[in-house]
Amino acid sequence: MGTSTGQPTIVSIAERAGVSIASVSRVLNGVGARRDTVLKVERAAAELGYVPNAVARSLKGGRTRQLTFAMPDIGNPVYVAMVRAIQTVAKAAGYRLLLHSTDAVVDDELAVLRSLGDRTSDGLILCPIRITDAHIEALRTAAGPVVVIGSLPDGVPVDSVRADSVAGAALAVRHLHDTGRRRIAFVNGPADTVPGRNRDEGYRAALADCGLVYDPDLVVHTDFGIESGAEAADRLLAEGRPDAVFCANDQLALGAARALHARGLRIPEDVAVAGMDDSMLAQAGWPPLTSVDLGSTERGRRAAELLLNRLDPAEPVTETATPRSTTAPPRLVVRASTGRAAPDS
């Protein structure tokens, strides 16, 4: 029965070409071989429709040429931007991208970290929603290179890429002040997350900077999402009489805009609205949303580059290697939602 069923392997090629499997391997990898050997092997491979088995290669070589990206929720435009950037860099370097949605479940994030040990991928980019002691421990003992998108405490030997949401929030608040707003409300995300705390810090700092006082009636913490933004804005409108609403992300801002529209308030004449992330959503609404770009794309790109760099044989991961950390600068993108206030206001 000659050749057995199934996919062709180097053995089938060797048989067909009448050479050894070693020669097949050499030809296929472009290592030296006699002209007619090359020809025979190439012909046999083509006739058989041979495709090298990547799994066998990985086992032998110890590398899968796969990268893993784990983030809380692929439904969030911010993570989509990251995926896109990472995929682009990975593809260019000949790596495949493995996607993991953790649904913001801590145990899931830890499981992903541990699963680095199964050698399924050569490295991991992790975007945790929160960093617990368990995270730190898992990061210390990770079985392979990891890059974290987010803020890590000092002393954790892991590369990271950060957003500067303190500065970002400040950019937005100052811009609102510059365009004449004095009662700047703030719809923030959960208070117990790193980004939440940072944005709050930026908001307060910028207020002080502009000579405005912090008014608790003008601040709401909620979870992310359009509905939450609408509810939060409703509450603020009733209590605080703001002339601007600054939101911790674009979804919240879109929700706030909806609430304003529903009340017949004009944006930006009556109330200005600004968001954060400058996701694709910022341009979706009406009026287009002023937003602070925290560099999602840039962070994804840099994270992928850092990781690939660690995978580069020239720069092996050593316990003693100093962790590298870069911060993507925020950028204010001004659109119609924060035009000048109406003169009579």
Partner DNA sequence: TTGAAAGCGCTAACAG
Partner DNA sequence: CTGTTAGCGCTTTCAA
Which positions touch DNA (CB under 7 A)?
6-7, 9-11, 19-26, 28-29, 32-34, 36-37, 50, 52-53, 56-57, 59-62
Among candidate residues 246, 129, 120, 228, the one with its CA nearest the CA of residue 186 = 246
Q: Which C-beta is closer to its own copies: that of 12 or that of 37?
A: 12
Q: Which C-beta is closer to DNA: that of 28 or that of 111?
A: 28
117 CB-side CA count, 13 A: 10
Cis preceding linkage at 195, omega within 30? no
Least distance to DNA, CB of residue 313, Å: 12
What CA–CA distance (Å, rounded) separates 278 from 78?
9
114 binds its own copies (CB under 8 A): yes
Q: Which C-beta is closer to its own copies: that of 143 or that of 208?
A: 143
Question: Residue 336: exposed, middle, or buried by beta-carbon count in 10 A (0-12, 13-18, 19+)?
Answer: middle
Two tokens, residue 214: 């912090």
Among residues 46, 141, 208, 342, which is the contact residue for its own copies, using CB under 8 A?
A: 141
Q: Which C-beta is closer to DNA: that of 21 or that of 106?
A: 21
Among residues 13, 44, 80, 212, which is the contact residue for its own copies, using CB under 8 A?
A: 80
101 binds its own copies (CB under 8 A): yes
Two tokens, residue 68: 């893993």
Binding mask 265-304 for its own copies (x = CB under 8 A): ---------------xx-xxxxxx----------------
Secondary structure (DSSP) of 197-225: HHHHHHHHHHHHHTTPPP-GGGEEE--SS
- Contact of residue 285 among DNA, its own copies, none (CB under 5-8 Å per partner type): its own copies
- Contact of residue 143 among its own copies, DNA, none (CB under 5-8 Å per partner type): its own copies
66 binds its own copies (CB under 8 A): yes
Among residues 3, 7, 132, 345, which is the contact residue for its own copies, using CB under 8 A?
A: 7
Residue 275: which region, alpha, beta or left (left: phi > 0; alpha: psi -120 to 50)?
beta
Pairing verdict, β 66-71 and 96-101: parallel
Spacing of C-alpha 194 from chain mean position: 15
Q: Which C-beta is closer to DNA: that of 22 or that of 284?
A: 22
Residues in 300-339 that interact with its own copies by CB under 8 A = none
Least distance to DNA, CB of residue 63, Å: 11
CA angle in degrees (0–180, nearest 5) for 299-80-65: 70
279 CB-side CA count, 13 A: 21
What secondary structure letter does DSSP report for 235?
H
Residues that bind its own copies (CB under 8 A): 7, 49, 51-56, 58-59, 64, 66, 74-75, 80-81, 83-84, 87-88, 91, 96-101, 114-115, 117-120, 141, 143, 226, 254, 257-258, 261, 280-281, 283-288
